Structure 1
Amino acid sequence: MASHQLREPSNSFLTLTLSSEAETRQLAEDIALILKPGDVLCLSGDLGAGKSTFSRALIRNVAADYDLEVPSPTFTLVQPYDLARLNLSHFDLYRLEEPEELEELGLEELLEDGAALIEWPEKAEELLPDSALWLQFQHGDDEDTRQAVFFSEDPVWQERLEATLEIRAFLDETLEVTFERHHLAGDASLRTFERIDKGGESLVLMRWPFSDAMLPEPVRAYMDKVHLAKDCRSVAAVGQELRKAGIHAPAIKSADFQNGLVLSEYLGSETIVIDGKPVPERYFAAVDVLAAMHAHDFPETVQLDTGDTYQVPLYSIDALIAEASLFLDWYVPEMTGEPASEHSKAEFEILWRQALDACSTAQTGWVLRDFHSPNLLWQEQADGTDRIGIIDFQDTVIGPVAYDVASLLLDARTDIDASLENALYDAYVKARTEQSDSFDSQAFSNAYSIMAAQRITKILGIFVRLARRDGKSAYLGHLPRMEAYLDRVLASPVLSDLKKWYQQYRA
């Protein structure tokens, strides 16, 4: 067997002192939360230095199973884990005869949709990717202490590690008790989410870093045009006002706006959908929430408890058209095989300006923009409108309130048949009519159809973009649902001119 030699960490960028085995497990937890497909983590160090403790803790965290048996792959050389969040492959190269054997173990293929954790990486010599993160464990001054030295040819690792350690420091200072960090599925933005467990209580940690330099100019320009929020003050401001109005938004426990960290109440993971199907009772409860919101007069400027102010932006016609134009940029080329013509684009904008002008008399107010099943959390033990917990409202704008009604009744993530849509619509109109003598049902009907068509148009473009630009092909499976919704709403007389335009792409 070939001898091994620890790599000298001449380009190390971080050294941590771990005073106990518990701190080694905490470090594994911190790194587990930033792992993604393609990552290679190389663990070096003498026997007993802490590699195995670290490996078991990291694998169990990614698996979300702290009782998971994690056998040593000393004899098998690699132990794969097919996990819900991220596939992991645990390598132990101590018994590797020749470095080339690593290719036979299929590292390259395993990294296509997973990450690799490699003990004794020195045995693979130069066959490991330059982008790997090396973590060398060294014995400290006493039996329990270890030094963890990090180095990598990829400078991005330093940024990623600083981010997760920043969260650890924020939580240590805020909670002052032992806690566990768990990955929590988020959205497609720059934000990341974790569930924090301390004792019998769970919280949600959101990290939302933002600077203009983080995004390409076209993305920044689009965000500005459609009024997408850029920092976590929006979460605090909108949530604060929703709670004042009696709407169940998560309460914030602690926040560091400068570093984009918000620790808030955890509302669970059960939505208004079960096994992919809408639960009518829950959708009717969500309609009650919308009716209650739309009876409330929300402010344009929010004064936060911290002294900060937040201006809720206007959902302008230009913003609505810019969103709808994603249909031209992505869906049209997908369906026709060629870009939308300049004539078609010009006609599209004219028709949409006319349609949006037609709902100018409809009620306006706060529009959360993503009021649909993934963001509506069912609270089984609550009563009334408290049964619906609301998240993901940071991009709230001031515009036609019918938009959120259409978002719910034509849910992009589950099939809402016409009979359920009609029943929910009638329930909303009945509630608003009882709340206000000035509720204009005809103006609302027109606005509902127009806002529904705009949202569906936008989402068709977004789903194709996610599939083609971001490699998330599963979103194409949602297109038939959205296309059926579009056909349904284009039957409204107020959209007759737009219907003719759309028909050229509905063959």
Structure 2
Amino acid sequence: MSELPDGLHEFLADSGWSDAAIDPIPGDASFRRYFRLHRPNCEGAMLMHAPPPEEDPRPFLHVAKWLSDHGMRAPEIIAARPEQGWVLLEDFGNDRMRDWLDLHPEGEQSAYEGAIDALVELHRRPPGPFSSYDMATYQREAGLLTEWYCPAQGLNVDGDGYVASWEAALAPMLPRQARGVTVLRDYHAENIMLLGDPATRAPQGLIDFQDALVGHPAYDLVSLLQDARREVPEELEAAMLARYLEQADAHDDFAADYARLGAQRNAKIVGIFTRLYKRDGKPRYLDYIPRVWAAMERDLKHPALGPVADWFTANIPDELRRTGGGTIT
């Protein structure tokens, strides 16, 4: 067993879980760590350690409460000591959507239908008490590509032109997200838990939502349907987008905004995955970049992305674009 964090046993004792067996489970791309707890003759629980100063669990607790209060399936919070990074929460089990689909590919349609329906329900709620997804945030995220990916490829690019191209592409969209919906920001098959019988589109548990903002309803759709970590066939993407539009009150420019946010999010992810390798020594994320790059290239074909597409043509060599971003060393 890997070394347990200081303070774990004290927190469990204060929470009434001192007799629990502790099973560390793999973490994610952050500093967070997770442990599955088991007690005799009792349901288990999940322990999250999000240690300061690198992590702060208070946003997670804030969003979890809002989601639960509004009828969404966030995990129940059993106990928390946020100043030390400890959160004890409901265990949603083992049926993470991505893992379940690896074993049950025939259930892909129903699983994605359930994920779309959950988003429809979320978007019918009033937007949460969260910060707005504004231009500065979109620009900061898109800028991760020029901050990390371009230097890693030895590219000397037009940084000011990059910012200006995104300003031109995204500005028409901002008025359409004025009312806004709660945007979970990392809504994809690794962060959706299938509860009950996955084949019947049972309620889906939400995790990893601590960065929620109020923004455009297309953002989480892009996150789900242009998944960096799992191949989503283009036909399924189109069918699920149509399913969402059948149920939602969407505007005429929704397809254009979907492409805008697809390109923006995928540019961000290319930058993040490069950073995870160059700064944090996590090379496995490089394997996902070709998939992300391919989705971004599809998004850039939409006329709404004209300024950004022109920038890519002028600044990113064709060879890198054809090979899904090229090899990063």
TM-score interval for Structure 1 and Structure 2 normalised by the shorter chain: 0.7 to 0.9
Q: TM-score, normalised by structure 2?
A: 0.88
Matches within 5 A, 1:341-352: 341=157, 344-352=158-166
User: Does structure 2 conserve the Cα–Cα contact (< 8 Å) formed by 1:288 and 1:385?
Assistant: no
Instruction: Name 1:193's counterpart in structure 2.
Output: 34
Cα RMSD after superposing both structures: 2.1
User: Does structure 1 conserve the Cα–Cα contact (< 8 Å) formed by 2:25 and 2:35?
Assistant: yes
Q: What is the CA distance between 1:401 and its match in structure 2?
A: 2.3
Instruction: Name 2:113's counterpart in structure 1.
Output: 284
User: Does structure 1 conserve the Cα–Cα contact (< 8 Å) formed by 2:128 and 2:214?
Assistant: no
The one-letter code of the counterpart of 1:288 is: D
Matched, 1:456 2:266: yes
Matches within 5 A, 1:99-498: 163-164=5-6, 166-176=7-17, 178-199=19-40, 200-211=42-53, 231-273=56-98, 274-275=101-102, 279-300=108-129, 312-335=130-153, 337-338=154-155, 340-341=156-157, 344-363=158-177, 364-381=180-197, 387-433=203-249, 439-440=250-251, 442-498=252-308
Please give the alpha-carbon distance, in whole angstroms, between the structure 1 residues aligned to 2:18 and 2:228: 40
Q: What is the CA distance between 1:384 and its match in structure 2?
A: 7.7
Q: What is the CA distance between 1:382 and its match in structure 2?
A: 7.3
Q: What SS does structure 2 have at the residue aligned with 1:362?
A: helix
Instruction: Describe the superposition over 1:312-366 as per-residue Cα deviations: whole angstroms up to 9, x where unpaired.
Output: 222221111111111112222334x23x33xx10011011111121112323221
Q: Pick 1 or 2: higher relative contact order, CA cutoff 8 A, min separation 6.
A: 2
Specify the structure having the higher radius of gyration (Cα): 1
Instruction: Name 1:505's counterpart in structure 2.
Output: 316
Q: What SS does structure 2 have at the residue aligned with 1:248?
A: coil
Q: What SS does structure 2 have at the residue aligned with 1:175?
A: coil
Q: What is the CA distance between 1:464 and its match in structure 2?
A: 1.5
Q: What is the CA distance between 1:249 and its match in structure 2?
A: 0.8
User: Does structure 1 conserve the Cα–Cα contact (< 8 Å) formed by 2:111 and 2:198?
Assistant: no
The one-letter code of the counterpart of 2:244 is: Y
Please give the alpha-carbon distance, in whole angstroms, between the structure 2 residues aligned to 1:264 and 1:270: 17
Q: What SS does structure 2 have at the residue aligned with 1:427?
A: helix
Instruction: After the TM superposition, list the runs of 4 or more consecutive aligned residues in structure 1 that deviate by more than 6 angstroms.
Output: 382-385
User: Does structure 2 conserve the Cα–Cα contact (< 8 Å) formed by 1:379 and 1:386?
Assistant: yes
Q: What is the CA distance between 1:476 and its match in structure 2?
A: 1.7
Q: What is the CA distance between 1:283 and its match in structure 2?
A: 1.1
Gaps (5+ residues) in structure 1? 1-31, 35-160, 215-229, 301-311, 434-438
Please give the alpha-carbon distance, in whole angstroms, between the structure 2 residues aligned to 1:257 and 1:422: 41
The one-letter code of the counterpart of 1:332 is: C
Q: TM-score, normalised by structure 1?
A: 0.58
Q: What SS does structure 1 have at the residue aligned with 2:190?
A: helix
Q: Which has the higher helix share?
A: 2
Identity of aligned residues (%): 31
Query: Number of residues paired by the alignment?
Result: 310
